A and B are shown apart, each in its own frame.
Chain A
């Protein structure tokens, strides 16, 4: 069992993850239509696209982030931990060093442990916000919680495995499965925003940069 989930299934899930995301990006771009979108897509829009991505990928660089400081901190902590922990975890790096001969910088286990707790705090904050903020509650669906669960499960199980709670080997297998489930789910669900965020922001950035005065005014921070 362990051999399968940590061997072929890893390949399969990474395959689905990368190919799936590539398909999402290509079909997004292919589905753009200059006339229907009313944007004359061209290289002239690239500065606008970059600007749009830049202002929203940096905390407090856009008016929207500035107006919502608590949510901004919560969501950035969530996303930074979500990316940094699995990619820079020493244990993960040893695994792909062994299998693929590649590795990069790592964070200490102690850092990862604290970051995981921070991540849990962010998850709780996001759930709390979904329940208590009436605007968020109204637009929230069950699917939103499922997505959050898919994203959080590898961390819960990873934390349990690291601290050897319950039966280590079983938890480890569940942890790997959860990670694989997330990778596979990404291209098929809302989690596809991992790439579509950039597509969507770049598109709007081009829209403003090309059509809505980006070449005329001082440039709106959209």
Chain B
């Protein structure tokens, strides 16, 4: 296997060395990778063994009792977006993929594994909406997550997610950003803003802080101003906060999208170790949906925490914002409320997967004069179509773009031209939606909006020269 790993790109070995990562990165668009994938054997014994230990009563029952009623069809955004193609019915998608693997006890070929891969990543974002519409409570999003794990263990994973999981193995972050790079970027942002915000601090490794703030590697890599905005808002709110300078500074998990559970464990343990080392009272994650799901909702289980809870209570950024608005830590100027119609893309990962159904809706009442919720909304909202890793996978770009139509129609129906989204994935999907469909919208995270509207206490303002 080791020899195989060094000579091929498509194989069953996770990317754990910089050398292997570089080899993949050198393969532009994964051309060689997918060619090799066509020749990748299925290790049937390993697949069967995997099923024997991991395919348990919950999923066994789900596959067995599915009444084939197809009530899940209308719940799936890809079904709707693809002109109601019956082959996009979630129950069909899972029965024809995982169902077959189980029925054949792992005795499947390369073609079937590729079909599974194309379905698990190209026709499902694991948004778990179908699970809410099945009379038997069959959550096909959960099953597709499981199927991704089976595919990954056999080397059948989209190119970008093989790389993504590799990044987490090597950098404990979704991109090649080291803790040093991160701290340097923070320092740069602090310096950049210290004139406007005298006394602005970015406390690193502060033991016993109230809040440990954890980000998405995209922020230091591509959007450093997001870090500055977060720091300024904490500064205005007078929060006692900190960031870790060790692994654990980053909370995303492309390994979750890839189905690399061992990597998920390593990733989240880094964050938990930082929480424990810094003895923080709570964790606040940035405006990222899947980060919240990976680190707070699913993470405790990967890390083997029987309580199902992280070492310190975990909050999504929107929860912190609402708390700050309610307690008056952040006071907004009502005159600066957004005047034009505005809508909200509320991400699945903290709604359907963490119950925060009303938090951001309530924030909208503070920041917008004419808030127009999408229909359906809250826990019934549709995925942006870029979730579950789909945004980043070149092979399924077309499928993603078709899926975007559902979000496009939801947005257009509100009449708003401004979309707020506190999630990196949704934010990207909406940006791409505008690029593909040109409906004349703009989009934003919450941080820039809050900064525009916040009333700055006198003592925090720069002294007049």
Q: Interface residues, chain A, CB within 8 Å of chain B?
A: 27-40, 52, 56, 63-65, 67-68, 71, 75, 130, 133-141, 144, 190, 192-193, 196-197, 199-201, 203-205, 207-208, 210-222
Contact = CB atoms under 8 A, between A and B. Distances in A.
A37 B58 CA distance: 8
Nearest to A135: B70
A37 B92 contact: no
Contacts of A56: 135, 137
Given A71-B69, A133-B70, A212-B353, A139 B135 contact: no
B136 interface: yes
Interface string B64-101: 11111111011100010000101101011001000000
B167 to A, nearest CB: 23
Contacts of B287: none
B355 A208 contact: yes
Given A38-B301, A217-B356, A222-B131, A136 B57 contact: no
B68 A32 contact: no
Interface of B: 54, 56-58, 60-62, 64-71, 73-75, 79, 84, 86-87, 89, 91-92, 95, 131-139, 297-298, 300-302, 304, 306-309, 350, 352-358, 379-380
Contacts of A216: 354-356
B56 A212 contact: no
Given A31-B58, A144-B68, A220-B357, A204 B137 contact: yes
B56 A36 contact: yes
A111 to B, nearest CB: 27
Nearest to A190: B65
Nearest to B68: A139
A222 B302 CA distance: 24
Contact of A37 (B56, B73, B354): B56
Nearest to A205: B137
Contacts of A201: 136-137
- Greatest chain A CB density within 10 A among B95, B307, B379 is at B379
B133 A218 contact: no
Given A32-B58, A38-B301, A71-B71, A213 B354 contact: yes
17 contacts: A31-B57, A35-B301, A67-B133, A135-B86, A137-B86, A192-B64, A193-B65, A193-B136, A196-B61, A201-B137, A210-B308, A212-B297, A212-B352, A213-B350, A213-B355, A216-B356, A220-B357
A218 B357 contact: yes
B65 A196 contact: yes
A14 B108 CA distance: 40
Contacts of B84: 135
Contacts of A192: 64-65
Contacts of B357: 217-218, 220
Given A138-B92, A211-B308, 10 more contacts: A64-B134, A135-B86, A137-B86, A193-B67, A197-B135, A200-B58, A200-B138, A212-B353, A216-B354, A216-B356
Contacts of A220: 132, 352, 355, 357, 379
A139 B308 contact: no
Contacts of A33: 56
Contacts of A203: 58, 137
A68 B70 CA distance: 11
A28 B57 contact: yes
A136 B72 CA distance: 10
A200 B54 contact: no
B309 to A, nearest CB: 8
Contacts of B131: 204, 222
Given A32-B58, A139-B91, A199-B61, A38 B298 contact: yes
Contact of B92 (A30, A31, A139, A204): A139
- Greatest chain B CB density within 10 A among A32, A71, A207, A212 is at A212
Nearest to A37: B58
Contact of A204 (B65, B139, B353): B139
Please provide the 10 A-B residue pairs with the shortest distance between their CB atoms, ordered closest to farther.
A213-B355, A31-B57, A217-B355, A40-B308, A204-B137, A135-B70, A38-B301, A213-B354, A139-B68, A64-B133
A138 B69 contact: no
B87 to A, nearest CB: 7
A33 B396 CA distance: 33
Nearest to A129: B69
B195 to A, nearest CB: 40
Given A31-B57, A31-B60, A192-B65, A214 B89 contact: no
A217 B319 CA distance: 11
B318 to A, nearest CB: 12
B135 A190 contact: no
Contacts of A133: 70
A190 to B, nearest CB: 6
A45 B304 CA distance: 19
Nearest to A193: B65
Contacts of B54: 36
Nearest to A30: B57
Contacts of B79: 135
B56 to A, nearest CB: 5
Nearest to A139: B68
Contacts of A36: 54, 56
Contacts of A29: 57
Contact of B355 (A134, A138, A219): A219
A186 to B, nearest CB: 12
Contacts of A199: 61
B86 A218 contact: no
Contacts of B60: 31
Contacts of A63: 132-133, 380
A39 B309 CA distance: 10
B134 to A, nearest CB: 7
Contact of A214 (B68, B138, B309, B355): B355
Given A37-B56, A212-B355, A136 B70 contact: yes
